[in-house]
């Protein structure tokens, strides 16, 4: 389940970027990034649950953890910076979207 959620996050991001070459489709790219970020955060928590509490060690959980963290960190940085009106985050968000 964790691996499928992590894969879904990246699929949402790539789908939003591939289908939104037209400037009119830029909101689709932003929505895909936001949905992927919102899905990756619970996936990180789920992976931590599997690794720490259930003591499960498998390649799938390790890959899901890596995929989720690599998606969640930029999402959190851009979202937090945009909310706090940081100029660098605004430039990153404008570049990404």
Neighbours of 80 (CB within 10 A): 11
Neighbours of 24 (CB within 10 A): 7
pLDDT tens profile 49-87 = 888 888 888 888 888 888 888 888 888 887 787 788 777
In SS3 terms, 24-79 reads as HHHHHHHHHHHHHHHHHHHHHHHHHHHHHHCCCCCHHHHHHHHHHHHHHHHHHHHH
pLDDT of residue 21: 65
pTM higher than the cut 0.85: no
């Amino acid at each position: 389940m964790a691996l499928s959620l992590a894969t879904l996050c990246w699929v949402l991001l790539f789908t939003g970027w591939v289908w939104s070459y037209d400037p009119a489709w830029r909101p689709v790219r932003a929505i895909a990034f936001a949905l992927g970020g919102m899905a990756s955060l619970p996936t990180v928590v789920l992976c931590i649950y599997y690794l720490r509490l259930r003591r499960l060690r498998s390649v799938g959980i390790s890959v899901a953890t890596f995929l989720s963290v690599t998606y969640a960190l930029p999402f959190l940085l851009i979202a937090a910076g945009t909310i706090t009106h940081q100029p660098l985050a605004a430039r990153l968000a404008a570049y990404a979207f």
